[in-house]
Amino acid sequence: MKPGFMPRVSLISLGCAKNLVDSEVMLADLARAGYVFTDNVSASEILIINTCGFIQSAREEALEVIHQALSWKKDRPGRQLVVTGCYVERFGDFLKVKYPEVDIWSGTRDFDRISEIIKREKHFFRTETFLLNHTTPRIISTGPNWAYVKISEGCSHMCSFCSIPLIKGPYRSRSISSIVQEVQAMASVGVREVNLISHDTTYFGRDRKIEGGLVKLLKKLLLIKEIKWIRLLYGYPEEIRDDLLELLNEEKMCRYLDLPFQHASDRILKRMGRSIDGKRALELIERIRRRVPGVVIRTSLIVGFPGEGRKEFKQLKDFVRQAEFEHLGVFVYSREIGTRAECLDDPVSGAEKENRRHEIMSIQKNISRKFYRRFRGQTLEVLTQRANSRKSYPLAARAKFQAPEVDGLVLVEHQPAHFDRKIPDFVRVKITRSLTYDLVGKVADDQTG
């Protein structure tokens, strides 16, 4: 490199929103060190890939991206390829042997020091996964009007199928004051919606011996005037408390719960190490909907877990029909090395697992269509996301019942001319049509609400 020349850096962030926050920390550290960030990978001298290693499909995606990046590196001698994140933390030795051409490997412990790692080409040796605080520089990449807030790291649950504790270690909460200060700083630069993320938001504070830690945190965040929407992502059904449900009725709170139930068969749930059974899950859903009118529930399910025969799969389908989740995602089971489920026989073929996933999603399509139809003719307040390149829908937005990146959108037709100068954060949209997972509407004449 020429003296005084700062290399251009591109970063590819794979996996979940928690990974994205770590990538945002890396971007800020690189910016402070003087590196220039570019979205154009072909124009960069350094490429960072932040990997996910949670399940087999995520690892396959990471391997494909690394393989493509090696072609990028080969095209111009002197380019640096840096691979970080969960996959490296979990299977670093395997990756180093498979891809010796990669210049730098770094796991989940040093996101805030990535510039120094690149400069020195050596690692630091923290003993724990990196956990940011309010003083950690971070470049928000999602906004400008919404952001993720990571409130903890790791997980102390022992679900038999899950590798998160093996990758990230036990649950560690941030302090309430640190989170509040971070959100206050976000609010001061225009963030209006915060999405609290964690491997289990409902466990927050327990490791610090704080009783009702999540509710205490939310009460503090509700006092931040500029924040208009607060959303909880990823909690455990077993940990839903009445005081949390009561708080969800507050105006600023999104009446939204992301509760992965994983399955409905008592036998499969016991094998998974989950403490709630199918009957109690339906009772919990009914209690949530009774106590929080208009609440929207998202869940995640796993198909093809060892022991899932026709009977167990039918129970899962019946559960989906009865629960009528507004949003739902389905994962195909993959055996994870080191988990308690690793030793179980896996008799369900890959093709059959995919068929079962499609069956569940076919049921969910009808439920989703029914859910979205109810909004036809209504006027909704939505948070604008971005200008859309599609001429039919020049503006994309989200309603309060739609979480970013995992749920649908409100697609806005005929963007008003003055929006070209400045698109407001919140807009009232009259819904004209409903699709399977999205709504379509026009900006309402009356914006006073």
| Domain-terminating residue out of 317, 346, 373 | 373
Residue 287 confidence (pLDDT):
97
Tokens for 199, please give them.
């491997």
Q: Is residue 100 part of a domain?
A: yes
Segment-wise mean pLDDT, segments of 10 residues, the chain, 449 residues = 72 95 96 93 94 93 96 90 95 95 94 91 75 96 93 95 94 98 97 97 96 97 98 95 97 97 97 94 97 98 97 98 98 94 92 97 98 97 76 86 95 78 87 96 82
Q: Are the beta carbons of 412 and 397 closer than 8 angstroms?
A: yes
Residue 135 confidence (pLDDT):
97
d(CA 157, CA 143): 32
For the chain, the domain total comes to: 3
d(CA 122, CA 276): 45
Same domain, 96 and 150: no
| Domain-terminating residue out of 358, 373, 388 | 373
| Domain-terminating residue out of 332, 347, 373 | 373
Decide: helix, strand or coil at residue 27: helix
Same domain, 184 and 260: yes
Same domain, 361 and 385: no
pLDDT digits (tens, 9 = 90+) for 99-152: 999 999 999 999 999 999 998 866 666 788 999 999 999 999 997 899 999 999
Same domain, 105 and 194: no
Q: Is residue 137 part of a domain?
A: no
CATH number of the domain to which 390 belongs: 2.40.50.140
Same domain, 175 and 75: no
pTM score, two decimals?
Answer: 0.93
Same domain, 190 and 269: yes
Residue 124 confidence (pLDDT):
62
Same domain, 16 and 103: yes
pLDDT digits (tens, 9 = 90+) for 37-87: 999 999 999 999 999 999 999 999 999 999 999 999 998 888 999 999 999
Tokens for 433, please give them.
């049509």
Q: Is residue 134 part of a domain?
A: no
Q: Are the beta carbons of 13 and 20 closer than 8 angstroms?
A: yes
Q: Are the beta carbons of 256 and 403 closer than 8 angstroms?
A: yes
Same domain, 288 and 333: yes
CATH number of the domain to which 80 belongs: 3.40.50.12160
Q: Annotate 291-327 with b (16+ C-beta within 10 A) or e (fewer).
A: ebeebbbbbbbbbbbbbbeeebbebbbebbeebbbbb
Same domain, 397 and 352: no
The string of DSSP codes covering 238-288 is: GG--HHHHHHTTSTTB-SEEE---B---HHHHHHHT-S--HHHHHHHHHHH
Same domain, 338 and 426: no
Containing domain of residue 69, as a range? 8-120
Same domain, 238 and 303: yes
Residue 120 confidence (pLDDT):
80
Residue 123 confidence (pLDDT):
63
d(CA 28, CA 299): 33
